[in-house]
Amino acid sequence: MLLFIYITNRVATVSPILQKMAERGIHGATMVDCEGMLQTLAADSIEPPPFFGSLRKFINPDHEPGKMLFAVLREEQIGVAKSCIHDVCGSLDRPNAGIMFTVPVTSVEGVE
């Protein structure tokens, strides 16, 4: 089993991705709000490092939080999950397109 993680700031893509995953037999994913490093530093009252400070003016303080999807999947389901994300989002090679990765799960209970 693998923990599949997908992180995006393109919140509008989340529902279509989840719908495609459900249609293709992937169930039980969990979504949580998340925020990136620049958003956190911009909201902090402590002065960020100079590089981040210069980017602060480009960051919208009312920015909607990103989303992080977690799903414990069998190895053969990973390609399906990636395909669902690519179908909705296209390539993740573009800047700010999101990131997905897996982490080995050595023990699990409560998953089919």
Sign (positive or negative) of CA dihedral 30, 1, 103, 87: negative
Q: In what order do the strands lie in the sheet with 2-8?
A: 30-34, 66-73, 2-8, 99-104
* pLDDT score at 39: 61
How much is the pTM?
Answer: 0.78
How many Å apart are CA 7 and CA 70, to the nearest integer? 9
How many Å apart are CA 57 and CA 47, to the nearest integer? 13
Which domains does the chain carry?
A: 2-104 (3.30.70.120)
* Low pLDDT (below 50) residues in the chain: 54, 56-57
* pLDDT score at 14: 94
* pLDDT score at 62: 56
